[in-house]
Amino acid sequence: ETVVDLSAFGQGELVAVASRDSLRGAQYHVVLDPSGKVVSLTGGAPSAVGSVFEGLLRSLYPRIRAGATAGATWADTLETTSDTPQAKTTTNTLTSFTLGAPEPYQGTTARRVQTASSYLLKGSVMTPGGPADMEGKGTGAAVYFVAADGRVLGSTTKGDAMVTMAS
C-alpha cells in the first residue's frame, strides 16, 4: 500500500489554485498488484476536482510487463469512473509505453518509461446553476523513472485538455 499525501500539494498548473486548495491535505491509499496496476484507491477529496485527480493517480503508476527489456513497447487502456455528489464522470485513456535501459537516477539505478496517452471524458457535474453535461478530450506525455522493485522514483509529465460544459 502506498499513501499519497496531498498536504504539500502546491505549485504547478495541474489544476487551478482554488481547486488545488480543495485537494490540500487529502490522503489517498493506493494498492498495486504485482504488475503495478492500481487495484484499490480509497480516501481522497470527494469533489469534482478530487474525481479528476483520482483518474490521474490511477494512471500515475506505469505498469511494466514482466520480462520486458529495453526497447519494449506496449499499450494499455484504462477506464476510470467517478460518482460523487458533485460529478459523475467516465474517462477512457489509451497509453503507449516504451521501456528504456537501466540508467543512473538520483543515486540509484532506474528504468526510464516513456508514455504517450490520449483520453476522452464524458459525464455530468453540478454547477451553481444546476447540473451540466461535460465532455472533454486530451493528450499527454510522461517520463517515469522506476526502481527495480517497481517504485516510481520521479517523473515529468505534460498534457493538454479541452473540456466543454452545457447545461
What pLDDT sits at residue 19?
54
With beta carbons less than 8 A apart as the criterion, state whether 92 and 119 touch: yes
Give pTM, 2 decimals: 0.69
What pLDDT sits at residue 44?
64
With beta carbons less than 8 A apart as the criterion, state whether 54 and 45 touch: no
What pLDDT sits at residue 16?
46
With beta carbons less than 8 A apart as the criterion, state whether 82 and 47 touch: no
Distance CA 78, CA 147 (A): 23
Please write the tens of the pLDDT for every residue from 82-102: 777 778 888 888 889 999 999
What pLDDT sits at residue 102?
93
Going by C-alpha positions, the residue among 140, 139, 137, 96 that lies closest to residue 120 is 137
Within its chain, how far is the Cα of 1 from the centroid? 17
| DSSP string for residues in 14-39 | SS-HHHHHHHTT-EEEEEE-TTS-EE
What pLDDT sits at residue 10?
44
Which grid cell sits at 2?
502506498
Task: Kindly report the number of other CB atoms within 10 A of residue 141's CB atom.
Answer: 14
With beta carbons less than 8 A apart as the criterion, state whether 52 and 39 touch: no
What pLDDT sits at residue 12?
45
Task: Kindly report the number of other CB atoms within 10 A of residue 132's CB atom.
Answer: 15
Residues with pLDDT less than 70, the chain:
1-26, 34-37, 41, 43-63
What pLDDT sits at residue 154?
85
Burial class for 105, CB neighbours closer than 10 Å (0-12, 13-18, 19+) = middle
**Radius of gyration of the CA atoms of the chain, in A:** 17
